[in-house]
Structure 1
Amino acid sequence: MLPFRLALLALLIATSTVVHVVPLLLVALLKVLLPVPRLRVACNPLLTGLAESWIGVNNLLWDVFTRTRLTVEGTADLHADGHYLVLANHQSWVDILVLQKVFNRRIPLLRFFLKRQLFWVPLLGMAWWALDFPFMGRYTPKQIARNPALAGRDIAATRRACAKFRAIPVAVMNFVEGTRFTAGKHATQASPYRHLLKPKSGGVAFVLDAMGEGLHGILDVTIAYPAGSPSLLDLLANRIPEVRVRIRQRPIPAELAGGDYQNDREFRVRFQQWMNGLWREKDDDLAALLVAGDV
């Protein structure tokens, strides 16, 4: 029965992807060819609408094919035309589907910072490009040591993306840990948090600097899986009993919105202290969400 279930879901997801991505790419091509900037801007709602429709179908499949209970706190006072920085912990690729299910059409389309290699994913890579998802090199310290010029490339890519985002409703998504949580990574880092890896503050600082007053606030999202961190296969196979999500809306501290994170050491220390404090609170939230019983 499971192989049939997985095959059916794969067929439905693939069909929906083709149905949505092909017209999305046609609109993107039209946007590139139009000679008038105002007309190009007019294509953005069409592109976003197609992406939100595709996510809506995925959410419908979640409801029809799984009995996963999704418990969410803090969705009041969200705005579909807002400008948000969304921060979340990261344990599984299921996190992305959870975020899309919670936020689709409640806030602007989530834009993720993607690894450059994902551009080559069939259909989806071109769709992400058409939707102005920023592609990043994410160079390792060893690569930067060999070629210091690489250090500024992702910063430049962040600034280019944020310049586009200032003109449209947007939700910029950042998994602050930079990678999925595992017990091994937690031990290697000697992380001071019980359920989280250490936060990487640089990406958050660069977005706040580049977006400036264009952001209305921060959506701080904590995702918990009481039965353990799942895989995408677990979701498709209906093996996730419950997902719990807590959303805290936070103001952007005025003193942290315009500093020079890269060159101003004092500012960098203050920013990291703020980020660490936020992460300690998230660690407490995650511990509470993982406790058995209703939240």
Structure 2
Amino acid sequence: NDFDETVKKTTDWREWGPNWKAVGEVHEGLGREAEQRGRMLSASQAYQRAAWCYHLGKFLWFEDAELHAELRDRSVSVYRRALPHLDPPAVRLEVPFEGHVIPANFRRAVGTDPPPLVLLVPGLDSSKEELYAIEEDFLRRGMSTLTMDGPGQSENSVDFAIRPNWETVITPVLDHLARLDLRVDLDRIGLMGISMGAIYGPRAAAHEKRLRAVVGLAGPYNLGDCWDALNPLTRGGYTFYTKSANEVEARQKAYSLNLEGVLDRVTQPLLVIHGGRDRLFPPAHAERIAREAPNATLVIYPDGNHVCNNIAYKYRPLMADWLKEQLASGRTR
């Protein structure tokens, strides 16, 4: 497959980005060919594969700043070609934010009127384009999805650095959604955060009570406490996305990315999911989060790695079913 072949071909880390660019261009070419023939399902599938290749090429790869930016932008642009042909289709939203925008992909669930809404928040070097499979888990259960790039994430890393205070992000997003006619139930909004998104989500929920329930997948309690055990690529990612001058500055900023003094105000249901074999953030961090949040449920999979990527068939149905149950009825007025 593409991954195995590209890993085998990459004998020097500097080749990682160019190699994935080449693979992405193959899939993008297949997409254009299918589109010219009016085969839009095949085209959209090829464009998605191309976007994921471009994203993977720049993932924690900073050897060439110009190519890194090109891969980021091509991942976004080619995925946009697929949006109207997804099932259900997606629409790009741009939420006004501090002189720029929060870009997001919105997909409305069918068969439920009006459906609840789940906000999907990526992690350190994740992007909204790569969360399609997770969107599908919610959509198939009658929940609409809004997958966003917040400050320091993917296309929003150009104008913003990572920030801990995500109430400054989610509140403007929800205010903007209230002015749109998306035909979703804004009294039933959940949030699912991945890795660093599992810090952003609870921090937002502590202030923003329009969030009815939160899932935190594989997040740390305090990033600074994990810093010394992080691998060099991940430390490089934090240095880049916090716009730090060096790792010393990034390490100092890492201590601001924490849940200290926050969780007692997260009164909404909180599902904390973690892998027992997570080598980035020890399971003890998840245990502490669950202890300090008054309405938390903790699930640790002993065989799970970071983000439980190796056992997606376990955690994804769990978190999707759990959020469906939490958002089953509107808030009593």
Normalising by structure 2, we get a TM-score of 0.28
Larger RCO (CA under 8 A, 6+ residues apart): 1
TM-score with structure 1 setting the length: 0.31
